[in-house]
Amino acid sequence: MKKTISFALTGMLAISALAGCSDSKDASSNGKVKIEFLSYKSEAKGTFDELIKKFEKENPKIDVVQTQPPDAVTVLKTRISKRDIPDVIGMGGDISYSDVAKAGALKDVSKDSHLNDIQPAYIDMLKDISKQDKVFGLPYAANADAVIYNKTMFKELGLEVPKTWDEFIAVAKKVQDAGKTPFYFTFKDAWTALPAYNVLAANTQGDDFFKKLDQGKTSFKKDHKEAAEKFLQLIQYGHKNQNGKAYNDGNTAFAKGESAMYLQGIWAIPEIKKANPNIELGVFPYPVGDSKVVSGVDLLIAQSSTTSHPKEAKKFVDFLFSDEAVKIYLKEQNAFPAMKGYTQEAPELEGLKEKIADGALSDFPDHYVPTAVALDKQLQVLTQKKDVNLYLKTLDSEWKKVADRK
């Protein structure tokens, strides 16, 4: 799941305040050592339950309790403010990772041997996001934004995978002319506007956009206008009541053949296939700009800096990075590996493999946007008001507010 949650970071603690705090959840009633694994990936709960059972069988003196509350990152930040940090944490490599790392809640893993097995690009992404040379989490799995398409519908309508933006819009128009819905949108959940926008922005904003933005050398108004305009162009080919449909609605609707294409991340594919195991779907890169695939750290595994059971927590982390565990996770979650030496064999992801193998990648732009700016909420407003100038002006204003508070 690649969600940017728009909430303010409240009550974050400095490293000195966190040091030495105790963990009251450290003993099971059966005398075993109990550690908590908090994961933000709701769709991976079953996979982690399976892995935890395997770990506990191999380590009978350790109990692992998986917690997965709604808005898990919000819960994590609140718990950090109360000095109640889970022993092991699974979260995304986005701005919230930076917040939590800067609060001193995560163990420094800069010298961890697992980093030697991880693709350097994903390590660099974490450093860029946190603006630190140290690493406080181990990239575990990567995801990607893509156009998910119904192969059966494409065949029926005689459509080819588009290679240019004009061809992309022409495909959408042909679908619409055939009386079918080109794209299914789910803007009731604000974050679902991000997958499409991330790709459009990453391929049109230019190099080092956020570094230049920090230096006052550019603005959203200057470099995000094309992305915003293209985003509005796409939603012209959607269905009615786009702001009344949520993420789960979209997965089910696409699975049932209610649209030819779905502008989501590859994390949605397992959910789509649950709703319709027989659907014939594929993916292709957005044909915009350099057509780089937007891929980032979907899941990193971090260890609490204050856990009362560092040995047991590290043992669980090491297990998750074992060959068996990695292969199970990648297969069940349709994720791309963050580690070297692994490949994603799912046939439905074939359309992205060449770009990813060639390194034609860009990180998610929203990973660099402070939560207070609320990019997802601003996009939700854009879908309603369709005012590009207002949208860009608001982003620049909100960005400046955050910068002035630093």
Average pLDDT taken over every residue of the chain:
91
One domain for residues 303 and 164: no
Question: Could you tell me the pLDDT band of residue 27, with boundaries at 50, 70 and 90?
Answer: low
Question: Could you tell me the pLDDT band of residue 403, with boundaries at 50, 70 and 90?
Answer: confident
pLDDT at 8: 38
Q: What is the pLDDT of residues 50-95, one digit of tens each?
A: 999 999 999 999 999 999 998 899 999 999 999 999 999 999 999 9
Domain-embedded: residue 247 = yes
pLDDT > 70: what percent of the chain?
93
Contact between 329 and 321 under an 8 Å Cβ cutoff? The reply is: no
* Mean pLDDT within 263-283: 94
Which of 405, 166, 135, 175 lies closest to 297 in space, CA to CA? Answer: 135
Of 6-20, 204-218, 392-406, the range with the lowest mean pLDDT is: 6-20
Domain total in the chain: 2
* Mean pLDDT within 161-181: 98
Tokens representing 244 are 């009344």
Neighbours of 212 (CB within 10 A): 16
Whether 20 shows a pLDDT value over 50: the answer reads no
Domain-embedded: residue 266 = yes
Side chain identity at 146, as an amino acid letter? A
Domain with 382, as residue range(s), is: 144-294+365-405
Torsion sign over Cα 250, 251, 257, 259: positive
One domain for residues 221 and 132: no
Of 28-37, 45-54, 161-170, the range with the lowest mean pLDDT is: 28-37
CATH, residue 261: 3.40.190.10
Whether 363 shows a pLDDT value over 60: the answer reads yes
One domain for residues 333 and 310: yes
Domain-embedded: residue 267 = yes
Whether 7 shows a pLDDT value over 60: the answer reads no
Show Cβ contacts of residue 153 under 8 Å, excluding neighbours closer than 6 positions. Answer: 159, 175, 180, 257, 260
pTM of the model: 0.80
One domain for residues 310 and 289: no
Whether 6 shows a pLDDT value over 60: the answer reads no
Contact between 379 and 194 under an 8 Å Cβ cutoff? The reply is: yes
Side chain identity at 364, as an amino acid letter? F
Whether 22 shows a pLDDT value over 80: the answer reads no
Question: Could you tell me the pLDDT band of residue 26, with boundaries at 50, 70 and 90?
Answer: low
Which of 366, 396, 386, 400 lies closest to 4 in space, CA to CA? Answer: 366
Whether 19 shows a pLDDT value over 90: the answer reads no
* Mean pLDDT within 269-293: 93
Question: Could you tell me the pLDDT band of residue 164, with boundaries at 50, 70 and 90?
Answer: very high
Which of 149, 104, 95 lies closest to 285 in space, CA to CA? Answer: 149
